[in-house]
Amino acid sequence: MTGVPHLQELNDKFRSKGFEIVAVSKEDAGTIQSKLIDAKKVTYGVVKADIGSLYQTRGIPHCWVLDAEGKCLFHGHPSNVTAANVEEWVKELAPTKVDKDLAKELSSAVKAFDKGEYGKALTDTKAVAAEATDELVKADATYLEGLIQKHIDMSKGKIERAASAGDKVAQAKELDEAAAKFKGSEIGETWAGESKELKKSKEYKDCAKAGEELEKLRPKIEDMAPKSARKALEKIAEKYPDTPAGKEAAELAKRYN
Amino acid sequence: MRMFLGLAILCAIGATTASALEVGEQGPNFKFDKSWNFDAAVTELNHLRGKVVMVESWATW
């Protein structure tokens, strides 16, 4: 708990710049509430979860810093994460505002970008670039396209990650989010089409049903006899063996032997 | 049999060391049982994608 002021300071300095702290404890909610939230008045993100087996917790406290794509950039003692480190890391994030004055021809594209309407921004920028004869305008259009490209890469990364995890529901959700962000552009249309196709597939429907069944079962499971809990979980696992929820059900079932 | 034993030992070592999250690897997603100081829509780690996230394990003891 001695590290609390350090984390609070990092949160205050960098949360608005895209840095999030997720302080995880598996202790009960009442203890977290009274000893950290109430007693220390922290405003950074705090979570109750058990990540011991997922992250192989090695001594407490320990932290992992993940980039925009979820890749681990650093792990170690939280006191070794300095403000200078975080400053460097958030610099790599896709900017949400255009950070310099651009040619007035691009003003509608810049406005769209600042509102998060990247599809409109992209289409506008391309139109300006195609018509521009002035080298400065061309250079500014290239710059803006570069900023938009970072958002395209980020969306692509999210979609690919969900796809490689075999989670069709998450994949469709990422496609929908990406399509919404890039509405009014070619790539936005492509993603919207892919989402529509995906939702028609059997794999997607199985994924969705498995998730629903598992979430319906989850709150009841602790009150069930171990044998019936295991049976109920195994039923989901057998019905939907190739879905993330089905696999999770199979894992959970092992606990009720 | 000997090969199997060797493999079993390798797996056991793997389970305690190699499975720990290292730099360059993908941080696994997890759901929040309960959370404080997040928007209601943020209920799992993946909802924070696009940001730099510091996952810190801590305890009151």
Residues A62 and A119 reside in one and the same domain? no
Looking at residue B19, its pLDDT comes to: 57
Specify if A96 maps to a domain.
no
Specify if A62 maps to a domain.
yes
pLDDT of A200 over the 90 cut: yes
When pLDDT is averaged across residues A94-101 and rounded to a whole number, the result is 86
- β-strand pairing of A62-66 with A72-76: antiparallel
CA A97: distance to chain centroid?
A: 19
Tell me which residue of A111, A113, A142, A112 sits closest to A128, measured CA to CA.
A142
As a dihedral over the C-alpha atoms of residue A43, residue A47, residue A53, residue A54, rounded to 10 degrees, the angle is: -80
A34 DSSP 8-state letter: I
Q: Which domain holds residue A245?
A: 203-253
User: What residue segments make up the domains of chain B, in order of their start?
Assistant: 23-61
Whether residue B18 contacts residue B10, with contact meaning beta carbons closer than 8 Å, is answered with: no
Q: Over pLDDT 70: what percentage of chain A?
A: 100
Domain count, chain A: 3
Residue contact A33–B36, C-beta within 8 A: yes
Looking at residue B2, its pLDDT comes to: 53
Specify if A165 maps to a domain.
yes
pLDDT of B8 over the 80 cut: no
Residues A186 and A216 reside in one and the same domain? no
Specify if A99 maps to a domain.
no
Q: How far apart are CA A47 and CA A29, in angstroms?
A: 9
Q: What is the pLDDT of residues A139-154, one digit of tens each?
A: 999 999 999 999 998 8
Chain A environment of B22 (Cβ under 8 Å): 72, 75
The partner residue sitting opposite A45, judged by closest CB among B28, B33, B35, is: B35
Q: Is B40 on the interface with A (CB under 8 A)?
A: no
Residues A228 and A190 reside in one and the same domain? no
Q: How far apart are CA A162 and CA A211, in angstroms?
A: 15
Return the residue in A20, A87, A251 with the most chain B beta carbons within 10 A, the one to mutate for interface testing. A20
End-to-end CA distance of chain A: 37
Q: Is A153 on the interface with B (CB under 8 A)?
A: no
Domain finish residue from A91, A126, A149: A91
- Residue A25: give its domain's CATH number: 3.40.30.10
Specify if A66 maps to a domain.
yes
Residue contact A75–B22, C-beta within 8 A: yes
Looking at residue B49, its pLDDT comes to: 83
Looking at residue A22, its pLDDT comes to: 98
In chain A, the residue whose alpha carbon lies closest to the alpha carbon of B48 is A20
Q: What is the pLDDT of residues A106-136, one digit of tens each?
A: 999 999 999 999 999 999 999 999 999 999 9
Q: Which of A65-69, A165-169, B2-6 has the lowest mean pLDDT?
A: B2-6
Contacts of residue B56, defined as CB under 8 A and 6 or more positions apart, other chains included, come to: A7, A21, A22, A23, A24, A61, A62, A63, A78
Q: Which of A7-16, A174-183, B43-52 has the lowest mean pLDDT?
A: B43-52
Specify if A97 maps to a domain.
no
pLDDT of A190 over the 80 cut: yes
Chain B environment of A40 (Cβ under 8 Å): none
For residue A61, say if its preceding peptide bond is cis, omega within 30 degrees of 0: yes
Whether residue A210 contacts residue A202, with contact meaning beta carbons closer than 8 Å, is answered with: no
Q: What is the pLDDT of residues A42-59, one digit of tens each?
A: 999 999 999 988 888 768
CA A249: distance to chain centroid?
A: 23
pLDDT of A93 over the 80 cut: yes
B22 DSSP 8-state letter: -
Q: What are phi and psi of A47, to 5 degrees?
A: -140, 140
Residues A164 and A213 reside in one and the same domain? no
User: Please, which residues bridge with residue B57 across strands?
Assistant: A24, A62
Residues 193-212 of A with CB under 8 A from B: none
Specify if A98 maps to a domain.
no
Q: How far apart are CA A163 and CA A203, in angstroms?
A: 12
Q: How would residue B45 be classed by pLDDT, with cut points 50, 70 and 90?
A: very high
Residues A82 and A108 reside in one and the same domain? no
When pLDDT is averaged across residues B18-41 and rounded to a whole number, the result is 88
Angle at B53 (CA atoms; ends A48, A54), nearest 5 degrees: 55
Residues across chain A: 257
Looking at residue A212, its pLDDT comes to: 96
Whether residue A89 contacts residue A19, with contact meaning beta carbons closer than 8 Å, is answered with: yes
Question: Which position has the higher pLDDT, A68 or A107?
Answer: A107
Q: How far apart are CA A191 and CA A206, in angstroms?
A: 21
pLDDT of B18 over the 80 cut: no
Residues A77 and A117 reside in one and the same domain? no
